[in-house]
Amino acid sequence: MYDWLLWLQREHAWALGLIKVILLVAPILILVPGMIWWERRLLSWMQDRIGPNRTGNVTFPDKFPIPFLRGKKIPLAGLLQPIADGLKLFLKEEINPKAADKVIYVIAPWLALFPAFAIGGTLPWGPNEGVYGLLNPVADIEIGILWVLAISSLGAYGIVLAGYASNNKYSLLGGLRASAQLISYELAMGMSLAAVVLATGSLKMTEIVAAQEAALWGIPGLEAVQNWFIFTPFGLLSAIIFMVAVIAETNRAPFDLPEAENELIAGYHTEYSSMKFAVFFMGEYAAMFLLSGVFAAVFLGGHNLMPFNWDVLAAQVPAAGGFFAFMGALTYWLAPLGFLAKCVAGLTFFIWLRATLPRLRYDQLMGLGWKTLLPASVGNFIIVGRWIFFDRLYGVWAGLGAMLAGFAVAAIVYMNVVAAAKASGKGPQTRSVTMVKPERRGVVMVDPNKAG
């Protein structure tokens, strides 16, 4: 297969490119119904509800030819419910507002869907060698991180244009909120990724993943443990900022203000129905999944299943060299599944937040972006530069000491700023609610001996 792919790359590069695109788009389209099912089931478990459990159950008739299957019911936990919903939306009557801008109204859902697939084109879902090296990513471009930032911001265009074209005040307000969230959180997201780019010296996604296979914290003797950026102080802070910004840009709870049903009915897609309505949600789930892939590639070692360099372990412990060699081969061949598992974990985190946190007020949303995330990401970027400077001039330990000292100074400054804000009465406001009659009311005591 490897030789055939080499020949295809040499003689028919367009065909190899088409195969790469199919390997990206087809699985995502297939996984979107599964993501919807997973969100419904997970939310039902977290909120102590039943969730989808009927559509898709298989019941064999009493006269079925196989005796042990006669009359047997096999529950499928509602696995086919998303398929049934898709068919319903496809066959549902489509309503187009008379006063809407027809062209923009039709284009907007597809503008919301396209960026998600464009982001996935730069994600390395396997090692950059052998068969996987020929098949992924779709485009290993030099400006990988910049591409992600540019394309992810385009998703807001579909939402803004949907709100504008619908000729509905609620939809327009939802679109304006989406644009404000984009402006507020795009800066913090960019600065959080800039810290990683500064640390690796490259914008390419494949090189960022490869950089995380170095020794942990760059310390000699720890080459067996990979330096996933989430294990480093600056990488952990960047990961938190990046994930919060991603949640805001995908308009997911607790940042789902563009579609706040208690204020805007359904926000930007109030006037959409049938498949146009479904396309918005396809774009949302695809963006959640693929931006989780960006998070995995930048902070979680990409396709590496575990943070270990098995070849180094095999050299350090010759007695267990066979086992480590087996684990290395297993890591290589299961790399796509490992990357997929990290994407699913990110999607699960999105769902967990939706079940846990209430929606923020709009001033809280703006304050978090401008007053907390952006200053934190800029400070983190400065600390990374300080670490690189001392590391190059004075060695590993001097660089680590400078980085930790920078974080200590930043923590002291932050605590002083918060204390000053509280003293001036401009800090975070708290509210308390006191019940007039806190004692239990409306309780009926029943004597079990007299019940009946």
Please write down the HEC assignment for all residues of 87-147: HHHHHCCCCCCCCCCHHHHHHHHHHHHHHHHHHHCCCCCCCCCHHHHHHCCCCCCCCHHHH
Give φ, ψ of 158 to 5 degrees.
Answer: -60, -40
The per-residue pLDDT for 379 is 92
Give φ, ψ of 403 to 5 degrees.
Answer: -65, -45
For 446, the token pair is 């029943």
What's the mean pLDDT in 178-184? 83
Percent of the chain with pLDDT over 90: 18
Give φ, ψ of 73 to 5 degrees.
Answer: -110, 125
How far does Cα 145 stand from its chain's mean position?
15
Flag whether pLDDT at 12 surpasses 60: yes
Q: Residues 335, 126: contact at Cβ < 8 Å?
A: yes
DSSP state letters, 403-435 = HHHHHHHHHHHHHHHHHHHHHTT-S--------
Q: Residues 178, 156: contact at Cβ < 8 Å?
A: yes
Flag whether pLDDT at 154 surpasses 60: yes
Q: In angstroms, rounded to a whole number, what is the distance separating the alpha carbons of residues 372 and 354?
A: 22
Flag whether pLDDT at 39 surpasses 60: yes
Q: In angstroms, rounded to a whole number, what is the distance separating the alpha carbons of residues 65 and 325?
A: 50
For 321, the token pair is 């060299």
Q: In angstroms, rounded to a whole number, what is the distance separating the alpha carbons of residues 272 and 162?
A: 9
More confident residue, 100 or 313: 313
Alpha helices for 250-273 (secondary structure H): 261-264
SS3 63: coil
Q: In angstroms, rounded to a whole number, what is the distance separating the alpha carbons of residues 117 and 238?
A: 24
Of 193, 164, 194, 192, the C-alpha closest to 176 is: 164
Q: What is the pLDDT of residues 104-131, one digit of tens each?
A: 888 888 888 888 888 888 888 888 777 7
Q: Residues 267, 260: contact at Cβ < 8 Å?
A: yes
378 band by pLDDT with thresholds 50, 70 and 90: very high
Q: How many residues does the chain have?
A: 452
Flag whether pLDDT at 35 surpasses 70: yes
Q: Residues 145, 205: contact at Cβ < 8 Å?
A: yes
Q: Which CA distances in Å does 124 have to 32, 186, 296, 335, 371?
A: 20, 23, 10, 10, 34
DSSP state letters, 313-358 = HHHH-GGGHHHHHHHHHHHHHTHHHHHHHHHHHHHHHHHHHHHHPP
SS3 198: helix
Flag whether pLDDT at 77 surpasses 80: no
More confident residue, 374 or 167: 374
What does the buried/exposed string (b/e) look like for 114-137 if buried means 16 or more CB atoms within 10 Å of the residue's CB? bbbbbbbbbbbbbbbeeebebbbb
Q: Residues 24, 126: contact at Cβ < 8 Å?
A: no
Of 135, 152, 133, 119, the C-alpha closest to 297 is: 119
User: Following CA atoms 397, 403, 404, 407 in sequence, which dihedral angle do they give, to the nearest 10 degrees?
Assistant: 180
4 band by pLDDT with thresholds 50, 70 and 90: low
Q: Residues 142, 89: contact at Cβ < 8 Å?
A: no
SS3 67: helix
User: Following CA atoms 373, 374, 376, 379 in sequence, which dihedral angle do they give, to the nearest 10 degrees?
Assistant: 170
pTM of the prediction? 0.86
Flag whether pLDDT at 55 surpasses 90: no
Q: In angstroms, rounded to a whole number, what is the distance separating the alpha carbons of residues 344 and 353?
A: 14
Lowest mean pLDDT of 148-157, 309-318, 418-427, name the range: 418-427
Element (DSSP H or E) covering residue 59: strand 58-59
Q: What is the pLDDT of residues 388-408, one digit of tens each?
A: 999 989 988 999 999 999 989
More confident residue, 1 or 230: 230
Instruction: Give the residues across from 308 on adjacent strands.
Output: 225
